[in-house]
Structure 1
Amino acid sequence: MRHGALPLLAIAAALMTGCHPAMTTQSTKIQPPPETLAVPLRFAKHSFGAYCYNATGCHVIYDNFDHTGSGSERDPEVVSGPPPAGDYQANLDASYLGIDNFPAPAEVRWKSLDGIPHEAKVDMAAIFKNQLIWHKVPKADMADFFRGPVAGEPGIILVVNDRTIDVYMKMLVPTRTEQIPGNKYSSARDDLFLVWTRTY
């Protein structure tokens, strides 16, 4: 009896461990482009946006504000569908403006597609500890668009997709040349950069 019970206990322990919502893989910190390091621009404020895909009851609370509002006490099981087809990342935006660097970590709660609940804290102060604006504009092509110690207010965007959280940065940087030849209104870049990712 005792020998037969041990394997069952081991299996039960393994199942409980595998389903624990706190289990994560190691997060990935991505290096900025060479242009970012060659022409360092720093920020003291930022805007923020959050998106949820392939998730249920998804909430992203940052700077004391729920940026998704997916679900409520009455209907906590609101489902966020898959992301739009195509290059949906190009339309990601950060519309919550004027956040001083940095509030407490973003608190994220959601259920992945398999129904497992997750909770995470995403620390923007740690991810952006050097307060660098990520960009891909060479110094020779960068217009003089700021004065003072900081360059402006980039957007930080958090995306939940099933079991993965991605953090992006986006910043409009004026350029001396047209990015679309012949289009006089294209003298700027607003590249979107994946800065950090973790799968839970």
Structure 2
Amino acid sequence: MGDMQGAAMKWTRLSAWLSLGLAACAQPTAAPSLQKEIAVTETERDEAAIRAEMNYRPVKWPLKFKRHNFGARCYDTLYCSIWYGGMESGDERPSVPSSTYGIDYLDNWNGGMSFDNFPPPAEVTWRSRDGLTHKTDIDVAAIFRDELMLHNVPREEISDVPDGRLRTNPSILLEVNDRTIRIYMRARIPTKRLQIPGNPYSDVRYDLILVKTYNY
């Protein structure tokens, strides 16, 4: 009698488990399109929460900088030395003409050394292709005395940033090219729209701006 009662209890438990399993299987599942919509909504909600927490705001205008990166290059010289902020750049040996690299020879050029605004003037000494020796000081502080970032992005196209502060250092670039010195600025500016449609990493512009030209 005891064995029959035990078997009955086991059967009751088994029936309950089966019922629960069938009930779970019978629950309706969201359609794939609905699931995708839910996922997108959750992602947007997460992004909104992050932006709120980090206090994203329109950039403070105008864009200014207190630190900058510096870089120097020499082309078509017999010797070239640039001292800036206690560091030297240049070529002790003859450098090739910029035409060797094509019209885009300055693409992707950025400053590698970072400084507070501003070290003393850059000291430039070089021999041009004709063999003449030149020496000059380039007063970077005077050129950029207003500490404004130079760029080509309209204010309304710049992305919101945490606390409205654009935490990026522009690059100030010095090119010695035979008997010419050119000063450029390149600043990384985040944009609301993708610069290359379909490329999620293209929400930025990094234009090279020619600021000053000296001929010797």
TM normalised by structure 1 equals: 0.73
Check conservation: 2:77, 2:95, Cα contact below 8 A.
yes
Distance in 1 (CA, whole Å) between partners of 2:171 and 2:162 is 17
- Taking only the aligned residue pairs, the percentage that are identical comes to 44
Cα distance in structure 1, aligned partners of 2:201 and 2:159? 14
Residue 113 of structure 2 corresponds to residue 96 of structure 1: yes
Bigger Cα displacement from structure 2, 142-151 vs 175-184 = 142-151
Q: Deviations over 1:92-140 (max 9, x none)?
A: 221112x000000000000111100000100011000100001111122
Aligned length, in residue pairs: 155
Could you say which structure has the higher helix fraction?
A: 2
| Partner of residue 199 from structure 2, selected from 157, 166, 183 | 183
Alignment-derived partner of residue 58 in structure 1: 80
Measure, in 2, the Cα distance between the counterparts of 1:109 and 1:191.
Answer: 28
Task: Please give the root-mean-square deviation of Cα atoms over the aligned residues, in Å.
Answer: 1.7
| SS of residue paired to 1:140 | helix
Matched, 1:87 2:104: yes
Q: 1:147 to 1:46 in 2, by over 3 A?
A: farther
Q: Which amino acid aligns with 1:108?
A: V
Letter in 2 for 1:85: G
User: Unpaired runs of 5+ in structure 2?
Assistant: 1-60
Rg (Cα) greater in structure: 2
**Does structure 2 retain, via aligned residues, the 8 Å contact 1:173–1:189?**
yes
CA-to-partner distance for each residue in 1:70-96, whole Å, 9 max, x for gaps? 22xxxxxx1011121231121322111
1:134 lines up with 2:150 in the alignment: yes
Relative CO higher for 1 or 2, CA cutoff 8 Å, sep ≥ 6?
A: 1
Cα–Cα, structure 1 residues 121 and 148, in superposed 2: closer, same or farther, change >3 Å?
farther
1:166 equivalent in structure 2: 182
Output the CA distance in 2 between the equivalents of 1:149 and 1:105: 28
- d(CA) in 2 for partners of 1:192, 1:55: 23
Taking the aligned partners of 1:59 and 1:49, their CA distance within structure 2 comes to 12
What is the TM-score normalised by the length of structure 2?
Answer: 0.68
Give 2:175's aligned amino acid: V
Question: Quick one: structure 1 residues 44 and 147, their matched pair in 2 at CA, closer, same or farther if it must change by over 3 Å?
Answer: farther
Deviation, structure 1 residue 141 = 1.1
Cα distance in 2 for residues equivalent to 1:124 and 1:141: 29
